[in-house]
Amino acid sequence: MKKILGTSLLFLGLAVFGQAREDSIQFSKISLEVLNNGKGYSDLRELTKNIGHRLSGSEAYEKSVQWAAQKLREAGADKVWLQEVMIPVWVRGKESLHIKTSGGGWKSLKMLSLGNSEGTGGKDISGEIIMVKSMDEYNNLTPEQVKDKILFFNYAFKQSFIETFKGYGDAAKYRTTAASLTAKKGGKFAIIRSLSSAFDDVPHTGAMRYEENVSKIPAVAVGSTTADELETLLKSQKITAKLNSNCGMKGEKLSHSVIGEITGKKDQSVIVVGGHLDSWDVGEGAHDDGAGIVQSIEVLRTFKKLGIQNNHTIRVVCFANEENGVKGGIQYGKTVKEKNEKHLFAIESDAGGFAPRGIALDMDDTKRKQIQGWSKLFLPYGVYNFEEKFSGTDLYPLHDMGIPAAELMPDSQRYFDIHHTEEDTFEKVNRRELLLGAVAMTHIIYMIDKNW
């Protein structure tokens, strides 16, 4: 009996070793193909330089829809289609922010209106600046102190977080709520310190929201050095701010997410890999999220080029309207539910095109442990962190339906230097880092397709 048991264990061990070796060889083939022949970097150049930033509802976004559909066809998709999505249309228009000290003239400041903010209707709005550096300080202000004033939320991005997304999450509440918080106490408009890990004067935009039954007043962001200068001036004198902006919501329009897939040889269960096609209206949307789009298309291209016979349908989704509405992700989830499509797994790349460091896993513990058991295969490619538990914003509707979801985790140290700014350009993306992200995504899709 012991001899039989020992022999069985030996064969099992050899089988496991053989399987791991086979997977390791396939990982190497994928890496060689992507790093040597990958199209992601040249595709990103086309997207950013020929089309540029792609705000939902803009002509540029509509051009990017046709571009993405063509790229999916070129990559070898068996089927490409456009999914209809009703999206909000927000426009920026001309805008300016000036300050005046008690003894000086007007001085222009670099600024950006926050996304989804209403503007001043092209008229000047001015008032004295009141600064707070935390929610506690805001809560201690009375409406009498704020009425007809400009509220300046000067909350600095915490440098102590090693994982900078935690710093971003910590500061994000000021961007999303500043306008409504100011309006509740009678202020005219809000200024926030940008959600930036950099020490520069580059303002960062990003979505804000209004509370129901609260006046919709403007909200703008300034860069870190401007915020510091304002703080210094406010310690010794009164400062008046003057805003003139033409931004605002312009209703809704019909637009599209772009979807392409290669059909499964075993069954029609779907594995999703994607990013969001839209961007803010500054910079070129290179890291956010052109990188995720071209990496996702590269996954499909690599499967086709290497002749990997996928068991399940591998579907690339280029989501519409992630930045200021998530309407593409919501519509995709709604359609999956209506069609009762079986989805095995979904991963999004929406954290920049820097070198991959891990994959966050938002799923039950059994599946998390199975994927974590594959971690040694990823180590030679610099991917080691499988401990985080979150997934991409566009995938929340799928996750809420019980579908295992994930997100690629690139190195985050430089991302929030350029996030939602004019600095997010093609030149900030490194070819090898971008393609290594595509390698990691192809690896995880390969393993899911083979083992689930």
19: confidence class by pLDDT, cuts 50, 70, 90: confident
10 Å Cβ neighbour count for 172? 14
Q: Is the pLDDT of residue 130 over 90?
A: yes
- Residue 56 CA to residue 62 CA, distance in Å, equals 8
153: confidence class by pLDDT, cuts 50, 70, 90: very high
- Residue 326 CA to residue 281 CA, distance in Å, equals 16
Task: With beta carbons less than 8 A apart as the criterion, state whether 130 and 150 touch.
Answer: yes
Can you give the pLDDT at residue 4?
60
User: How confident is the model over 79-114, as pLDDT tens digits?
Assistant: 999 999 999 999 999 999 999 998 889 999 999 999
Q: Is the pLDDT of residue 9 over 80?
A: no
What value does the mean pLDDT take over residues 130-151? 98
User: How confident is the model over 172-191, as pLDDT tens digits?
Assistant: 999 999 999 999 999 999 99
Can you give the pLDDT at residue 236?
93
What value does the mean pLDDT take over residues 163-170? 96
- Residue 449 CA to residue 333 CA, distance in Å, equals 21
Can you give the pLDDT at residue 20?
87
Cα 320 to its chain centre, rounded Å, is 12
What value does the mean pLDDT take over residues 230-256? 97
User: How confident is the model over 404-429, as pLDDT tens digits?
Assistant: 999 999 999 999 999 999 999 999 99
What value does the mean pLDDT take over residues 371-393? 98
Structure tokens at 317: 């989704």
Distances (CA, A) of 434 to 46, 175, 290, 430: 15, 29, 10, 6
What does the buried/exposed string (b/e) look like for 378-399 if buried means 16 or more CB atoms within 10 Å of the residue's CB?
beebebeebebebbbbbbbbbb
Q: Is the pLDDT of residue 7 over 60?
A: no
SS3 call for 196? coil
256: confidence class by pLDDT, cuts 50, 70, 90: very high
Report percent pLDDT > 70 for the chain: 96
Distances (CA, A) of 268 to 257, 300, 363: 21, 16, 21
Task: With beta carbons less than 8 A apart as the criterion, state whether 280 and 53 touch.
Answer: yes
What value does the mean pLDDT take over residues 38-66? 98
| Short-list 96, 154, 155, 91, CA closest to 126 | 96
Distances (CA, A) of 148 to 184, 193, 210, 212, 239: 11, 20, 19, 21, 14
3: confidence class by pLDDT, cuts 50, 70, 90: low
- Residue 11 CA to residue 21 CA, distance in Å, equals 15
SS3 call for 414? coil
| Short-list 77, 101, 67, 87, CA closest to 238 | 101
What value does the mean pLDDT take over residues 330-358? 98
Can you give the pLDDT at residue 272?
98
Q: Which residues contact 327 (CB under 8 A, 6 or more apart)?
A: 56, 85, 86, 87, 88, 320, 321
Can you give the pLDDT at residue 18?
73
Mean pLDDT for all residues in the chain: 96
Structure tokens at 229: 């200068």
Please state whether the peptide bond connecting residue 288 to the residue before it is cis, i.e. omega within 30 degrees of 0: no
Distances (CA, A) of 175 to 77, 128, 156, 199: 39, 20, 12, 18
Can you give the pLDDT at residue 5?
53
Task: With beta carbons less than 8 A apart as the criterion, state whether 65 and 450 touch.
Answer: no
- Residue 277 CA to residue 282 CA, distance in Å, equals 15
| Short-list 243, 309, 235, 218, CA closest to 26 | 309
User: What is the helix (H) or strand (E) element at residue 205, kind and residue range?
Assistant: none
Can you give the pLDDT at residue 103?
81
What value does the mean pLDDT take over residues 262-280? 96
What value does the mean pLDDT take over residues 257-261? 98
Distances (CA, A) of 205 to 37, 49, 164, 183, 230: 35, 21, 17, 20, 19
Task: With beta carbons less than 8 A apart as the criterion, state whether 426 and 44 touch.
Answer: yes
SS3 call for 291? helix
Can you give the pLDDT at residue 102?
83
